[in-house]
């Protein structure tokens, strides 16, 4: 039996999600600036807005997706709920609630991280210093995982922490793949711009891993397959759902819980679909439709967990 | 090179006041020599440097209270002064036994007024002062509480006058706060001034949480072997939320909010991932008014509907009990020496500050005649609000207070201005005397235990007597010497 309060389970799940989200947005910004210049050296920043499904909100307040506008919107804008600042603030709010549960080191780190971002102004972030800023953010998120791994007590809350993290990651990976794939896949195979595909892989920290499994050549389909199905890549969608499924099974058996059945059934379906589809099936049926379906599954699994454990 | 023979204390004088580190010229505090010698070897710069490290760390650790403005919630640290306040073993014995005595009297008083009301029948204290008090809870009449303990946590505010006598300023018998700073200040000192502390022989403050947990277990319903204790907080927006976290961790109990609890069949449960789990004792940091919307304020979103049903049925221990606010009322305070004599047949170990009760004609007359010398306090307020300090007040302020007094005399008491003791305090790189008070914490389940020391609050502004954190006060580590 576990005495973990439902409210804490929910907070820990979301704390993990928000840190994961902050890291992913930092990756997207960083990679975008560094690797996606086209032949004229210009960077098209509007796709970043699309990845995060923020077109409507962004263009309400900004006439166009200039580099500076997009970066400010995603880095420090406190009014934008998908900005890194907002994610870290939300993670920190959850951590504040969770302070009786988490280690002092986890709390202190996230509190300092938040205060660092809070002290930053758009003027502090020049476009030339963007990569540096993103590196600091990514590192802070990774430090959070490291401290958590090393200090967080492994009771039921640990499972919720990891489930939150992997569900968020599945969602983020599918978004990146969805948007970029359509933009980067030209009608003429000869026009494939390898640097853009490298960038896509780098934005999920998968370039080197991909090279290990595909030493020669790079096709859009191989990249998509890698991000969707690779069984060892820590950010692949298959891997993320497998983790969530395992975690939920272990949580239930270790703490003799009877709830969580709906989420398990849904996870079964998702995993079966991921196992049964080849990349050719996906591309034939439409990558966008498939990504969309995956994102909906992540939302529904979250809803199932919410209903069974958080209320 | 000029050799600087001055030390930190060269310009320090506390004439006219009792100094907590130096004593008085005629009666120097010999027990503080080791500490003073070490401090003299430090430079102002060194103290400032370490003080900055300490404040940075408090902020990073989030040992803060929260101040709300229109737009933003800002975390502030309670200013921490690095020069400790020291209490000798002999002084501590007085404070400790005096606190135990006071808590015993408060508990006997509460038991009496919520049952037989002998003290009212015997005319020791005016009936309407008690039953007419807004903190008197009708709902507690006849309710039996385990071990007759009502005040499980008591914070007794003590000051010291120019002759070195301890005087009680007020009893906090509802939800006194500040104990987290006592423990965190000690941790901070241990990290930043290990050289100042080694071999001095200071009593530990580390087991407060365990003692409180035990007291809470003591008052769980009968027949429960391993009671589940929780700490009930109003939530993250409460300015003392840090303290709630601190205590929950130290006690090893879940920190819950009202929405985590439900009452079914007059029993309290908490909502966990494996369903409802029984709760046996609640250490609550929510005022009576908000704790159960079925009984008290119906608009409260913070409380637990039905909690009083469970409590009255004997299925729940509550620390502190409901209705203790009547005992720490500033008007009832004035009668406490009489209350101690009435129940315990003892003289008070700790004296009250001489108090004039304005509801009594003599008290009102004396107060009006001597207003410029007196401190006038409204009885219902806390946190230092509404206090008029006669010797520092302008003519207009005096006139305004006079008007309020005449309008509603029962709402006020007055006290002579105490020459509060001082303690060397680091102000812009030099040590200056600043006024301090002390809040020892007494924890009571089956019996009473007093945390050695307590919270020393210091008025950072020169000449200020107001030490409350809400009004710019700071705090110090408080050492009780082993011998």
Domain count, chain A: 2
A116 and A21 within one domain: yes
Q: What residue spans of A153-286 are helical by DSSP H?
A: 156-184, 194-203, 207-213, 220-229, 237-254, 261-276, 279-285
Out of B260, B270, B274, closest to residue A1 by CB: B274
Nearest 5°: the CA angle A84, A89, A94 is 130
Residue B255 to residue A100, Cβ atoms within 8 A: yes
CA distance B74 to B64: 9
B458 touches B464 (CB < 8 A): no
A192 touches A199 (CB < 8 A): no
**Residue B18: pLDDT over 80:** yes
Residues 25-84 (A) with a CB less than 8 A from some CB of B: none
Confidence of residue B381 (pLDDT cuts 50, 70, 90): low
A172 and A306 within one domain: yes
Of A110, A135, A153, the last residue of a domain is A153
- A268, part of any domain: yes
Residue B255 to residue A7, Cβ atoms within 8 A: no
Give mean pLDDT, residues B57-86: 76
A213 and A182 within one domain: yes
- Amino acid A178: pLDDT: 82
B243 touches B286 (CB < 8 A): no
Beta strands B166-172 and B153-160 are: antiparallel
Residue to test with chain B: of A89, A100, A115, most B Cβ within 10 A: A100
B65 touches B76 (CB < 8 A): yes
Of A90, A121, A153, the last residue of a domain is A153
Q: How far is A243 from chain B (nearest CA, A)?
A: 20
- A10, part of any domain: no
A310 and A176 within one domain: yes
- Amino acid A1: pLDDT: 41
CA distance B48 to B277: 50
CA nearest to B244 within chain A: A100
Out of B60, B249, B271, closest to residue A5 by CB: B271
- Amino acid B253: pLDDT: 95
Q: How far is B428 from chain A (nearest CA, A)?
A: 26
Tokens of A271: 């995993």
CA distance B402 to B367: 9
B111 touches B103 (CB < 8 A): no
**B42-58 residue pLDDT tens:** 988 999 999 999 888 88
Tokens of A159: 């499972």
- A6, part of any domain: no
Which phi-psi region, left, alpha or beta, contains residue A256 (left: φ > 0; alpha: ψ -120 to 50)?
Answer: left
- Amino acid A121: pLDDT: 84
Residue A97 to residue B254, Cβ atoms within 8 A: no
Give mean pLDDT, residues B295-324: 95
A168 and A149 within one domain: no
> Where do we find the tokens 């969602």?
A171
Of A153, A174, A192, the last residue of a domain is A153
- Amino acid B340: pLDDT: 98
Chain A residues with CB-CB distance to B255 below 8 A: 100
Beta strands B441-444 and B473-480 are: unpaired
A205 and A143 within one domain: no
Over pLDDT 90: what percentage of chain A?
A: 63
Residue A108 to residue B259, Cβ atoms within 8 A: no
Out of B248, B255, B272, closest to residue A6 by CB: B272
Nearest 5°: the CA angle B45, B50, B52 is 95
* B interface with A, Cβ–Cβ below 8 Å: 59-62, 228, 236, 241, 245, 248-249, 254-257, 259-260, 270-274, 277
- Determine contact: A7 vs chain B, CB below 8 A: yes
- Amino acid A39: pLDDT: 57
Out of B62, B249, B254, closest to residue A3 by CB: B254
Averaged confidence pLDDT in chain A = 89
Confidence of residue B269 (pLDDT cuts 50, 70, 90): very high
CA nearest to B247 within chain A: A100
A149 and A19 within one domain: yes
- Residue B54 CA: distances (Å) to CA of B82, B192, B292: 8, 7, 40
A299 and A195 within one domain: yes
- A118, part of any domain: yes
Chain B residues with CB-CB distance to A9 below 8 A: 273
Mean pLDDT check: name the lowest of A115-129, A177-191, B249-263, B291-305. A177-191
- Asked if omega into B320 is within 30° of 0 (cis), the reply is yes
- A4, part of any domain: no
Structural domains in chain B, sorted by start: 89-346+420-480 (no CATH), 354-416 (3.30.1490.270)
Looking at residue B76, the DSSP 8-state letter turns out to be E
A174 and A123 within one domain: no
CA distance A163 to A264: 12
**Residue B2: pLDDT over 50:** no
A170 and A149 within one domain: no
CA distance B290 to B293: 7
- Determine contact: A143 vs chain B, CB below 8 A: no
Averaged confidence pLDDT in chain B = 91
ipTM of the complex as predicted? 0.87
**A19-49 residue pLDDT tens:** 999 999 998 888 777 665 655 656 678 877 8
- Count of helix runs (H) and strand runs (E) in chain B: 15, 25
CA distance A238 to A230: 7
Mean pLDDT check: name the lowest of A176-185, A251-260, B102-111, B134-143. A176-185
Residue B260 to residue A7, Cβ atoms within 8 A: yes
- Determine contact: A191 vs chain B, CB below 8 A: no
**Residue B117: pLDDT over 50:** yes
**A84-117 residue pLDDT tens:** 999 999 999 999 999 989 999 999 999 999 999 9
**Residue B68: pLDDT over 80:** no
CA nearest to A255 within chain B: B274
CA distance A265 to A262: 5
Q: How far is A103 from chain B (nearest CA, A)?
A: 10
Residue spans of beta strands (DSSP E) within A83-177: none
Nearest to A300, CA basis, from A235, A230, A241, A227: A241
A56 and A122 within one domain: yes
- A256, part of any domain: yes
Confidence of residue B470 (pLDDT cuts 50, 70, 90): low
Give mean pLDDT, residues A177-204: 75
- A146, part of any domain: yes
Residue B271 to residue A7, Cβ atoms within 8 A: yes
- Amino acid A197: pLDDT: 82
Confidence of residue B6 (pLDDT cuts 50, 70, 90): low
CA nearest to B255 within chain A: A100
What is the domain range of residue A298?
163-311
Nearest to B425, CA basis, from B470, B476, B471: B476
CA distance A79 to A218: 40
Confidence of residue B471 (pLDDT cuts 50, 70, 90): low
**Which carries the bigger pLDDT value, residue A204 or residue B120?**
B120
A232 and A98 within one domain: no
CA distance A73 to B251: 43
3-state helix, strand, coil in chain A (%, to 5): 75, 0, 25
- A303, part of any domain: yes
Residue B81's contacts (CB-CB under 8 Å, 6 or more residues apart) are B51, B425, B426, B434, B458, B460, B474, B475, B476
CA nearest to A115 within chain B: B60
Out of A96, A100, A108, closest to residue B249 by CB: A100
- Amino acid A200: pLDDT: 83
């Amino acid at each position: 039996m576990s005495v973990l309060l439902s409210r804490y389970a929910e907070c820990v799940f979301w704390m993990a999600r928000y840190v994961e989200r902050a890291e992913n947005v930092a990756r997207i910004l960083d990679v975008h600036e560094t690797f996606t210049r086209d032949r004229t050296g210009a960077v098209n920043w509007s796709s970043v807005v699309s990845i995060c499904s923020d077109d409507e909100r962004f263009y309400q307040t900004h006439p166009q997706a200039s580099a500076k506008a997009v970066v400010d919107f995603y880095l420090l804008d406190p009014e934008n709920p998908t900005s890194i600042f907002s994610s870290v603030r939300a993670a920190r709010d959850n951590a504040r609630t969770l302070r009786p549960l988490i280690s002092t080191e986890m709390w202190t780190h996230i509190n300092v991280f938040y205060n660092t971002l809070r002290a930053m102004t758009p003027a502090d972030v020049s476009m030339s210093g963007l990569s540096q800023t993103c590196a600091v953010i990514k590192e802070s998120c990774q430090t959070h995982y490291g401290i958590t791994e090393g200090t967080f007590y492994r009771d039921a809350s640990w499972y919720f922490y990891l489930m939150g993290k992997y569900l968020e990651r599945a969602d983020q990976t599918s978004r990146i793949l969805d948007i970029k794939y359509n933009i980067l896949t030209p009608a003429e195979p000869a026009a494939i711009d390898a640097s853009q595909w490298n960038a896509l892989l780098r934005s999920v920290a998968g370039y080197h891993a991909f090279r290990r499994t595909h030493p020669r050549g790079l096709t859009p389909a191989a990249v998509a397959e890698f991000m969707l199905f690779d069984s060892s890549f820590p950010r692949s969608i298959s891997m993320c759902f497998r983790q969530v499924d395992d975690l939920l099974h272990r949580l239930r058996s270790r703490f003799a819980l009877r709830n969580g059945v709906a989420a398990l059934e849904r996870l079964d379906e998702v995993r079966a679909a991921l196992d049964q589809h080849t990349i050719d099936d996906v591309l034939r049926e439409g990558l966008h439709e498939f990504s969309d379906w995956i994102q909906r599954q992540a939302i529904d699994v979250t809803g199932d967990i919410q209903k069974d454990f958080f209320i | 090179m000029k050799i600087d023979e001055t030390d930190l204390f060269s310009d320090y004088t506390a004439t006219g006041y009792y100094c907590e580190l130096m004593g008085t010229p005629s009666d120097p505090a010999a027990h503080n020599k080791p500490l003073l010698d070490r401090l003299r070897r430090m430079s102002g710069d060194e103290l400032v440097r370490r003080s900055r490290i300490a404040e940075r760390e408090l902020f990073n650790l989030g040992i803060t209270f929260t101040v709300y403005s229109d737009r933003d919630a800002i975390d502030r640290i309670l200013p921490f002064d690095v020069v400790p306040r020291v209490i000798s073993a002999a002084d501590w014995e007085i404070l400790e036994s005096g606190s135990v005595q006071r808590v015993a009297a408060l508990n006997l008083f509460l038991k009496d007024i919520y049952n037989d009301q002998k003290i009212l029948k015997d005319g020791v204290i005016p009936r309407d002062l008690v039953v007419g008090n807004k903190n008197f809870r009708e709902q507690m009449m006849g309710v039996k509480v385990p071990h007759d303990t009502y005040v499980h946590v008591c914070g007794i505010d003590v000051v010291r006058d120019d002759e070195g006598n301890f005087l009680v300023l007020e009893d906090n018998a509802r939800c006194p706060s500040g104990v987290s700073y006592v423990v965190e200040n000690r941790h901070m000192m241990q990290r930043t001034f290990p050289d100042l502390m080694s071999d001095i022989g200071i009593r530990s403050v580390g087991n407060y949480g365990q003692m409180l947990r035990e007291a809470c277990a003591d008052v769980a319903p009968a027949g429960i072997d391993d009671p589940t204790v929780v700490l009930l907080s109003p939530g993250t927006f409460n300015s003392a939320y840090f303290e709630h976290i601190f205590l929950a961790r130290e006690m090893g109990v879940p920190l819950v909010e009202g929405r985590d609890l439900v009452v079914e069949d007059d029993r309290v449960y908490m909502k966990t991932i494996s369903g409802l789990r029984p709760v046996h004792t609640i250490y609550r940091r929510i005022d009576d008014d908000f704790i159960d919307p079925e009984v008290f304020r119906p608009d409260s979103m913070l409380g637990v509907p039905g909690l009083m049903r469970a409590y009255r049925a004997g299925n729940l221990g509550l620390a502190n009990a409901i209705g203790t606010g009547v005992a720490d009322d500033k008007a009832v305070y004035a009668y406490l020496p009489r209350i101690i004599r009435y129940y315990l047949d003892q003289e008070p170990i700790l004296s009250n500050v001489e108090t004039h009760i304005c509801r009594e004609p003599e008290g009102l007359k004396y107060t009006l005649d001597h207003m410029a010398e007196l401190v006038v306090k409204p009885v219902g307020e806390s946190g230092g609000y509404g206090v008029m300090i006669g010797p520092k007040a302008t003519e207009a302020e005096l006139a305004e207070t006079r008007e309020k007094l005449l309008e509603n005399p029962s709402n006020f008491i007055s006290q002579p201005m105490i020459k509060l003791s001082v303690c060397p305090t680091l102000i812009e790189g030099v040590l200056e005397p600043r006024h301090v008070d002390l809040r020892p914490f007494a924890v009571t389940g089956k019996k009473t235990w007093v945390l050695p020391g307590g919270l020393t609050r210091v008025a950072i502004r020169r000449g200020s007597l107001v030490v409350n954190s809400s009004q710019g006060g700071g705090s110090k580590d408080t050492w009780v010497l082993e011998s």
